[in-house]
Amino acid sequence: MSRDTNIVMLMVDQWRADSFGIEGHPVVETPNIDMLFEQGTVFDRAYAAVPSCIAARASLLTGLNHRRHGRVGYHPEVSWDYPFTLASVLADAGYLCHAVGKMHVWPARRRMGFHDVDLHDGYTIDERRKLDNFDQVDDYRTWLRLRSHAEADIVDAALGCNGYDVRPWPMDDRLHPNAWAVSRSVDFLRRRDPTMPFFLKVSFHRPHPPIDPPQWALDRYRDVTVPPLVQADWNDRDAPPRPGYFLDSPVPTSPTAIDRARRGYYAQLTAIDHELNRLVQALTEHNLLQTTAFVLVGDHGEMLYDHWRVAKNLPYEASARVPMMMRLPGRPHEVRRSSAVVELMDVLPTLCDVAGVEPPDAADGHSMLPLTAGDASSVRDVLHGEHFNWAFSSEVDDDNQWVTDGRYKYVWFPRSGREQLFDLATDPTECNDLAPDGGPVLERLRGELVTALDGREEGYVAVGELVVGRQGRATLEEAGIMTEAQAKGQRDMLAWIAAKASS
């Protein structure tokens, strides 16, 4: 395409890929997103290779695979020192680059190549507990207090930022973080330099908890019949839905509370969809809609009590598969669907392609633009994913490694050696584990995982075989992004965990 094309990236946090009207969900209402991307391409096999906030955003912003950007688990406060980012590449090509909402980088005010950032990372508990003035790392709260009252705060709904209790937003709808993100984006459209093409990243903290949608959105789902939970024989109902705990973020397990959490989650989606229409209206009023490319993308999914789990970090479709949709100016007004296996690192080269800019040679991702024109060829044969999960008990077996070719998914748990295999074509909710039967598919995908992990610093592979019991880590030292003190701190923590788990 060309450098006259404006780009709007709509980024959502913890939004399941199956939970849109355009995806055929039986109850979720997303009419504005559906309308926008019924004139675009929906990627049915888009994944976050490391499905948690920080690692996923590193892949998206750098175009690097997780082995090269180094983040293979959740590890905040590791500096984001990368030679290029999506925004820096577009800025160098003459784009005005602006970000609104969640960044989740370190230091928190790092712009990552954007000319300006209106920042709201959510509760940002890592920073909030360490700073005298939280406004140093959050623009939303200052805005909120100017429009509400001097002591208004993000936590006024009395919900934790990782919990699954539900309460309607306690203030005016216009003061919700969703509304703030769109209002700041509309203000950017008004104030921008009209002689420059722009890249606008609008990043919502929701539907990530807290589950605090406006009352009207909760009312939409009060009387609907929600789909049943996905449960399988291999689910461990004796374990908690989320190993470990946050004292301020309970995960209730009664049938009534689970039902309330799921309805509240769906209400979060509809509330965001409603706000997005204000952005589309503003683009229309500025005569920008027909020259603007849209991409909607999520950082990871949400288990939402399926398989008796919540949140992310897991290899299953509800967690690792992400929303990925594109609408390009000048394309036919019809929805295309692509079954190619794509990943968040593919966004950087794709948007470079949209802008008519050469992506950096060092980027690992591949442009998805040919797929939007109906090219049925594959971007890759297999995708490797993983997530290291900090665990303080030998009974927690959550560290995971996985590969998928789009049809089958193979999962390996390094601590125990447990394996799973799913046929995603016939079993999209991953209820029927084929691994106990073995067979050539299992052997082939296990071999793909051996290839992906060969030479890794954890020692997952030896003499061409997977090695059970190796200690994982959240950040790879080989990537060179940690200070020596951070690397030593991680080694010491892992040694302490290993000793505690074996005691």
Instruction: Determine the Cα–Cα distance for residues 436 and 419; give it in Å rounded to an integer.
Output: 8
H or E element at residue 181: helix 177-191
- Which of the following is catalytic: 104, 120, 274, 384? 104
Answer yes or no: 120 catalytic: no
Instruction: Determine the Cα–Cα distance for residues 41 and 367; give it in Å rounded to an integer.
Output: 14
- Label residues 493-503 b or e (16+ Cβ within 10 Å = b): ebeebeeeeee
Give the pairing of strands 336-343 and 400-404. unpaired
Residue entry with tokens 């959050």? 138
| Amino acid code (one letter) for 459 | G
Crossing angle between the packed helical segments 347-355 and 53-62, to the nearest 10 degrees: 30
Crossing angle between the packed helical segments 177-191 and 140-147, to the nearest 10 degrees: 100
- Which of the following is catalytic: 53, 97, 161, 352? 53
SS3 388: strand
Residue 122 — φ and ψ, nearest 5°? Answer: 100, -145
Instruction: Determine the Cα–Cα distance for residues 398 and 388; give it in Å rounded to an integer.
Output: 8
Instruction: Determine the Cα–Cα distance for residues 383 and 258; give it in Å rounded to an integer.
Output: 33
Closest-CA residue to 40 (of 446, 354, 433, 412): 354
Name every residue whose Cβ is closer than 8 Å to that of residue 33 and which is 6 or more positions away in sequence. Answer: 20, 21, 22, 273, 276, 296, 325
Instruction: Determine the Cα–Cα distance for residues 391 and 497; give it in Å rounded to an integer.
Output: 7
Residue entry with tokens 């019991």? 469
How far the first Cα of the chain sits from its last, in Å, is: 60
Instruction: Count the neighbouring beta carbons within 10 Å of the beta carbon of residue 466.
Output: 18
* DSSP secondary structure code for residue 321 in this structure: B
Closest-CA residue to 442 (of 471, 387, 405): 405
Instruction: Take residue 360 and report the two structure tokens written for it.
Output: 């950096």
Instruction: Take residue 314 and report the two structure tokens written for it.
Output: 């897991």
Give the pairing of strands 6-13 and 96-101. unpaired
Answer yes or no: 53 catalytic: yes
Catalytic residues: 53, 104
